[in-house]
């Protein structure tokens, strides 16, 4: 009974703490401007199924894709075993589904063990790629400090979780094979698990029943604590993409790549010039209008969702021609900076009872420099490469708009082009009257 009470309190505490932090993330995302991404429902479901569920874009790089698949499938399927752990912890039973499911239970847990071994291999490989092989896209400057530590902490936690699973199952195998089952619904004899039936006797075969019971309980409680700890670590980590990848892909931009959005306020002005009968919508004079984006609150909620979904894999940066040629731009850093600034704004609101108190900072300037933004060639390589359809280019273009339309700040070459378009109707330095002289030659 005491064990069940401790379990329920621990589980509820973890669930409540996660809910509080998840609500803060949701609040931060909704600080962005409204944008409609609910059209073409069937097409969105199809894209989500292929890209988020099917990992379609991951397999453009087969080796990391296969390693990631090991972790992805293991994570999803292992949740089945977690359901049993929750039920066992709540009512004080042990492997409560084994008696009713019989051979199917043995098959499922054995399958989970095989996936866990594959996940163990994948995790070791990912640790080696980051820390030993030093794959170029995983050792960029923007990953120094916390991002690198965050990635390693998650990978080490996954290894620890897998070890707890095999402690629990391995000790169980030895207990049951010796007729020392401590649960009435299990009986005697081996569980017959694919990995633990061999690993358990090899590691724990010579131990006393008391030691076996202790190891099994350490594995069981360790598994639970790691799951709850991992769950509550997610809102502070890049690995929140585990939960956000599906909605982020569902709300993808379905317009052709390279098609930029028009600002409604500018569009209305143009319509009013060419159509005298056009009546522009009424705008609240108390609502400040901004052209482009200076801070995170000027971005859309989808752009802010992108920032929380980014897993810092660096595929966007490794494909960016500006970055490849030594420019300062890194699309991954754009997303990381956006998330860092958004979290800073959220903490500001937490401190000031839900209201944002001006802190003299902004995304543009304090996090992202003009040099980074103007290095972008708007080629969409970063958008194409992202495994979960994140769009760094849209943030870059919105901040460029702000610099041009509100600060009149653009490279000299562009200012010359703007002047020519305004005066001559073309980017070149001659009048429209001269543009068709070629036909008279």
Percent helix, strand, coil in the chain, to 5, is 70, 0, 30
Whether residue 48 is contained in a domain is answered as no
Which residues make beta-bridge pairs with 364? 368
pLDDT, tens only, 392-419: 999 999 999 999 988 888 888 888 888 8
Mean pLDDT of 374-383: 95
Whether residue 55 is contained in a domain is answered as no
Mean pLDDT of 433-441: 67
Q: What confidence category does residue 284 fall into, taking pLDDT thresholds of 50, 70 and 90? A: low
Q: Give the predicted TM-score (pTM) of the model.
A: 0.89
314 and 175 fall within a common domain: no
Q: Which of the listed residues 250, 277, 311 is the one where a domain comes to its end?
A: 250
Interatomic CA distance for residues 250 and 45, integer angstroms: 6
Interatomic CA distance for residues 42 and 339, integer angstroms: 30
290 and 406 fall within a common domain: yes
Q: Which of the listed residues 190, 225, 250 is the one where a domain comes to its end?
A: 250
98 and 67 fall within a common domain: yes
Whether residue 255 is contained in a domain is answered as no
Domain span at 294: 264-432
Interatomic CA distance for residues 341 and 365, integer angstroms: 11
428 and 333 fall within a common domain: yes
Mean pLDDT of 52-63: 92
Whether residue 162 is contained in a domain is answered as yes
230 and 92 fall within a common domain: yes
pLDDT, tens only, 149-188: 999 999 999 999 999 999 999 998 888 887 776 655 555 5
Q: What confidence category does residue 277 fall into, taking pLDDT thresholds of 50, 70 and 90? A: confident
pLDDT score at 391: 96
pLDDT score at 438: 65
Interatomic CA distance for residues 394 and 398, integer angstroms: 6
Does the pLDDT at position 436 exceed 80?
no
280 and 398 fall within a common domain: yes
Residue-averaged pLDDT of the chain: 89
Mean pLDDT of 283-307: 86
Whether residue 50 is contained in a domain is answered as no
Lowest mean pLDDT among 91-100, 126-135, 214-223: 91-100
319 and 414 fall within a common domain: yes
pLDDT score at 181: 66
pLDDT score at 182: 62
243 and 280 fall within a common domain: no
Higher pLDDT, 23 or 97: 23
Q: What confidence category does residue 435 fall into, taking pLDDT thresholds of 50, 70 and 90? A: low
pLDDT score at 15: 93
316 and 224 fall within a common domain: no
Find the CATH number of the domain harbouring 284: 1.10.1060
Q: Which of the listed residues 250, 277, 302 is the one where a domain comes to its end?
A: 250
Overall domain count for the chain:
2
pLDDT score at 373: 96
Q: What confidence category does residue 321 fall into, taking pLDDT thresholds of 50, 70 and 90? A: very high
Q: Which residues contact 303 (CB under 8 A, 6 or more apart)?
A: 32, 338, 391, 394, 395, 398
Does the pLDDT at position 305 exceed 60?
yes
Whether residue 257 is contained in a domain is answered as no
Residue 221 has phi, psi (to 5 degrees) of: -65, -35
Whether residue 439 is contained in a domain is answered as no
157 and 276 fall within a common domain: no
Interatomic CA distance for residues 228 and 277, integer angstroms: 61
Mean pLDDT of 340-362: 94
300 and 213 fall within a common domain: no
Higher pLDDT, 184 or 58: 58
201 and 295 fall within a common domain: no
Whether residue 20 is contained in a domain is answered as yes
């Amino acid at each position: 009974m005491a064990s069940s009470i401790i379990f329920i309190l621990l589980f509820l505490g973890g669930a409540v703490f996660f809910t509080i932090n998840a609500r803060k993330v949701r609040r931060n995302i909704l600080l962005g401007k409204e944008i409609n991404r609910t059209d073409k429902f069937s097409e969105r479901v199809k894209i989500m199924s292929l890209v988020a569920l099917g990992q379609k874009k991951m397999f453009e790089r087969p080796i990391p894709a296969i390693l990631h698949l090991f972790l992805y499938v293991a994570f999803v399927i292992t949740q089945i075993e977690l359901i049993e752990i929750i039920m066992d912890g709540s009512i004080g039973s042990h492997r409560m589904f084994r008696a009713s499911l019989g051979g199917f239970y043995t098959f499922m847990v054995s399958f989970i063990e095989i996936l866990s071994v594959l996940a163990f291999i994948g995790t070791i490989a990912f640790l080696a790629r980051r820390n030993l092989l030093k794959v170029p896209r995983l050792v960029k400057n923007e990953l120094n400090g916390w991002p690198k530590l965050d990635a390693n902490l998650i990978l080490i936690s996954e290894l620890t979780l897998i070890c707890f699973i095999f402690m629990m199952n391995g000790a169980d195998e030895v207990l049951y094979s010796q007729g020392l089952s401590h649960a009435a619904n299990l009986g005697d004899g081996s569980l017959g698990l694919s990995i633990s039936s061999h690993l358990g006797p090899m590691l724990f075969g010579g131990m006393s029943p008391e030691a076996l019971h202790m190891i099994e309980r350490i594995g069981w409680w360790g598994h639970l604590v790691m799951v709850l700890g991992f769950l509550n670590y997610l809102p502070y980590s890049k690995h929140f993409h585990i939960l956000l990848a599906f909605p982020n892909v569902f709300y993808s931009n379905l317009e052709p790549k390279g098609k930029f959005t028009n600002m409604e306020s500018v569009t209305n002005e143009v319509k009013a010039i060419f159509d005298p009968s056009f009546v522009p919508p009424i705008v609240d004079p108390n609502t400040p209008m901004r052209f482009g984006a200076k801070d995170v609150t000027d971005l859309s909620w989808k752009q802010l969702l992108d920032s929380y979904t980014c897993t810092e894999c660096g595929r966007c940066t490794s494909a960016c021609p500006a970055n490849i040629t030594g420019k300062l731009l890194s699309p991954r850093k754009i997303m990381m900076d956006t998330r860092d600034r958004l979290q800073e704004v959220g903490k500001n609101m937490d401190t000031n009872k839900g209201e944002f108190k001006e802190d003299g900072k902004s995304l543009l300037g304090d996090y992202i420099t003009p040099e980074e933004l103007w290095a972008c060639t708007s080629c969409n390589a970063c958008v194409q490469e992202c495994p979960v359809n994140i769009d760094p280019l849209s943030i870059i273009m919105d901040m460029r708009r702000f610099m041009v339309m509100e600060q009149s700040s653009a490279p000299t070459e562009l200012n010359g082009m703007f002047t020519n378009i305004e005066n001559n109707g073309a980017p070149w330095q001659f009048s429209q009257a001269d543009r068709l002289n070629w036909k008279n030659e």
